[in-house]
Amino acid sequence: MPHVPLTPDLGAVVSFEGAGVRLPKLNRRKVGRSRNRLKRIRGDVARDEIWFVRDATFSLQPGEALAIVGHLNSGRDQLLRLAAGTLIADEGTVRRSVPIVPLVGLGGALGGSYTVRQNIYLLGSLLGMTQAEIVERLPGIVERADVGKILDKFLGDSSRLVRGRIAWSIAMATQAPAFAISQALTVGQPSFQQQCWEIVEERHAAGVSFLVVSDKPSELKRFCDRAILIDEGRVLADTTVEDALDRLKDIPPPKDQVHFVIDDDDDDDDAELI
Amino acid sequence: MLTLWRHRQVLRMLVLRDLQRQYTKFRLGYLWTIIEPLGMSIVLWFVFSMLLGPRKLGLQPYLLFLSVAILPWWWFTKGIAQMSGVFRKNKGELRISLLPTELWVLRILLVTMMEFILSLPVIIVAVILTRDVPGPLIVLFPLGIALQFVLMYGLGLLIASYAVVIPDLARIVRIAMRALFYLTPVLYSITNIPEHIRPYATLNPLVAPLGLYRVGWWPDEHESYLHYGISLVLCLVIFGVGWWAFKRHEPRILKEA
């Protein structure tokens, strides 16, 4: 995994030292009654960069389950991606001693035009499994995700529940020493969620480390040993789960930052001969 | 290049799946890989050979001359055109992928290369039609593929990286590709270019791969091996620049996801 460098002799699983990352964001400014026609057409879009994580310093020790407590859009998911290495810090450093499997929007990597089996191979490879490992663990994944009947059918427009189950089962099959989980446990029926939690707890007991983002306080309280409180990209506290959740109540949720997204289904990359 | 080897299993899977998807999407499936370039070759052959009369454009037999270069050009233009959107299109994968980021560029490159290889029967058809069997120098054909691969890999990384920073690049590439089509000896032979500007024409890195494809049939198209030398160096330089640009922009690329 060349793009996720490891520091094997680091004591912690992952260590953030003043890490920060800024992401580009298009903001649609108020157009008003500008006399400038061109501006009215463009809608005066500003290309800004916003710091999603700033000056984060903390570490995750082996065998620990650390909750990232914060509101939506507070930079929680970016923190997880930084930890896993699928995002590279613009300032400071993030070092990790073992590969961390990110479960952040896992369903997005599943392709509807592939069969379920193909998706398992694809996502499994993306998460760092070798072909041989996938072959070996395929029965387990199929059983856990309960997709035996549709294994060779196209995933197509199957429900989010099925996608969630598949993604989750694959992620667990990686048997990684650390996971970064974001809301992954909110998909599926209660019985499946229950099952997931049991697996997570089992792994945790066996010494696997976790970074967890969840909007359900009960899950965090039940499962995590420690918490990081984060707001607007800044780490406010490194404390107990209860304390972090209490303090979160005093922080106003961010105003609805409706930012401007350009949908691009454009055909810019259609090749023409001449 | 190391990525190519180390992740060959994933790549093979991705490429096979992409091809499969393309071939199941249309009723004629694989046949399109043949029909599209063959149709184009016939149209161009008709215009430049029949309508405009037997001028000194290209070498004879013109249909064969054309199709031998049209196929790799098709590979080039299809591959490069997709590069500008590659990271935007693979957002979902980039977010969680622990594999090297250049994998997505390689995937497009390999899919279009496979299509090119699968379209080679067009040349066989042209050989049968024109009854012009290639000489021993046809063994250089695979070398042309290798050279074009290196060139496209470098160019692809370069375009893919900068397209993330400058979305307008996709449009610019489209125009540039059109210009390049006429500036490259596809419709004509390098020997059609007047002698005093020919050295500048050989600065086009596509000249060498195209020459290597054609050399089996027309061994004397290139008078000097210097062309190949210049072109080879250029391909390697482009690859180096592409790799540098990609490494420099990788943090930014990952932010796309």
pLDDT digits (tens, 9 = 90+) for A148-170: 778 888 887 777 778 888 888 88
What are residue A59's DSSP bridge partners?
Answer: A15
pLDDT confidence bin for A44, thresholds 50/70/90 = low
Chain B hits for A109, CB-CB cut-off 8 Å, are: 92-93, 95-97
Chain B hits for A1, CB-CB cut-off 8 Å, are: 98-100
Q: Which of B10, B74, B77 sits opposite A125 (nearest CB)?
A: B10
pLDDT tens-digit series, residues A103-155 = 887 767 787 778 888 889 888 888 888 888 899 998 888 888 888 778 888 88
Q: Contact B13/A121, CB-based, under 8 Å? A: yes
The angle subtended at Cα A112 by Cα A110 and Cα A117, nearest 5°, is: 65
Relative to beta strand A65-69, strand A209-213 is: parallel
Asked whether the beta carbons of B150 and B240 are under 8 A apart, the reply is no
Establish if A188 touches chain B: CB-CB under 8 angstroms: no
Establish if B9 touches chain A: CB-CB under 8 angstroms: yes
Establish if A274 touches chain B: CB-CB under 8 angstroms: yes
Mean pLDDT, rounded, of chain A: 79
Cα separation values, A75 from A40, A81, A185, A228, Å: 32, 10, 19, 12
What is the pLDDT, as a whole number, of residue B92? 81
A258 burial type by CB count under 10 A (0-12 exposed, 13-18 middle, 19+ buried): exposed
Residue of B nearest to A2 (CA): B100
Q: Contact B9/A273, CB-based, under 8 Å? A: no
Asked whether the beta carbons of A87 and A21 are under 8 A apart, the reply is yes
Q: Does a cis peptide bond (omega within 30 degrees of 0) precede residue A102?
A: no
Establish if A250 touches chain B: CB-CB under 8 angstroms: no
Helices (H), chain A: 37-42, 76-84, 116-126, 131-145, 160-173, 190-205, 217-223, 241-250
**At a CB cut-off of 8 Å and minimum separation 6, what does B158 contact?**
B238, B241, B242, B245, B246
For residue A73, pLDDT over 80 is answered with no
A83 phi/psi in degrees, rounded to 5: -60, -45
Asked whether the beta carbons of A95 and A18 are under 8 A apart, the reply is no
What is the pLDDT, as a whole number, of residue A1? 37
- ipTM of the complex in this document: 0.80
Burial letters for B166-194: b for 16+ Cβ neighbours within 10 Å, e otherwise?
eeebbeebbeebeebbeebbbbbbbbeee
Chain B hits for A110, CB-CB cut-off 8 Å, are: 92
* Of residues A208 and A25, more confidently modeled: A208
Structure tokens at A40: 């009215």
Chain A hits for B21, CB-CB cut-off 8 Å, are: 113-114
Q: Which of B3, B95, B98 sits opposite A108 (nearest CB)?
A: B95
What is the pLDDT, as a whole number, of residue A185? 61
pLDDT tens-digit series, residues B172-194 = 998 999 999 988 888 888 777 78
For residue A68, pLDDT over 70 is answered with yes
What is the pLDDT, as a whole number, of residue B51? 77
Asked whether the beta carbons of A124 and A170 are under 8 A apart, the reply is yes
Structure tokens at B65: 């001359």
What is the pLDDT, as a whole number, of residue B160? 93
Chain B hits for A264, CB-CB cut-off 8 Å, are: 85, 88
Asked whether the beta carbons of A189 and A152 are under 8 A apart, the reply is no
Establish if A21 touches chain B: CB-CB under 8 angstroms: yes
Helix (H, G, I), strand (E, B) or coil at A94: strand
Chain A hits for B14, CB-CB cut-off 8 Å, are: 122
pLDDT tens-digit series, residues A55-65 = 888 888 888 88
Chain A hits for B3, CB-CB cut-off 8 Å, are: 2
Establish if B247 touches chain A: CB-CB under 8 angstroms: no
What is the pLDDT, as a whole number, of residue A184? 63
Establish if B22 touches chain A: CB-CB under 8 angstroms: no
Q: Contact A271/B77, CB-based, under 8 Å? A: yes
Residue B226 Cα, gap to closest chain A Cα (Å): 29
Q: Which of A3, A126, A271 sits opposite B81 (nearest CB)?
A: A271
Helices (H), chain B: 2-6, 8-25, 31-45, 62-83, 86-89, 91-96, 103-118, 121-130, 141-165, 169-183, 198-201, 207-214, 226-255
Give me Rg for the CA atoms of chain A.
Answer: 21
A 119-158 residues inside an 8 A Cβ radius of B: 121-123, 125-128, 130-131
Q: Contact A1/B99, CB-based, under 8 Å? A: yes
Relative to beta strand A226-231, strand A65-69 is: parallel
B 133-162 residues inside an 8 A Cβ radius of A: none
What is the pLDDT, as a whole number, of residue A256? 56
What is the pLDDT, as a whole number, of residue B196? 83
d(C-alpha B187, C-alpha B159), whole Å: 26
Listed ranges A30-44, A80-94, A258-272; the one with the highest mean pLDDT? A80-94
Residue A173: closest CA among A141, A148, A144, A215: A141
Chain A hits for B88, CB-CB cut-off 8 Å, are: 264
Residue B19: closest CA among B144, B155, B113, B148: B113
Asked whether the beta carbons of B105 and B177 are under 8 A apart, the reply is no
Q: Which of A90, A105, A122 sits opposite B13 (nearest CB)?
A: A122
Residue of B nearest to A23 (CA): B255
Residue A274 Cα, gap to closest chain B Cα (Å): 6
For residue A176, pLDDT over 80 is answered with yes
d(C-alpha B220, C-alpha B137), whole Å: 11
Helix (H, G, I), strand (E, B) or coil at A49: strand
Establish if A23 touches chain B: CB-CB under 8 angstroms: yes
Residues in chain B predicted with pLDDT less than 50, given as ranges, are none
d(C-alpha B33, C-alpha B36), whole Å: 6
**At a CB cut-off of 8 Å and minimum separation 6, what does A120 contact?**
A134, A138, A141, A142, A166, A170
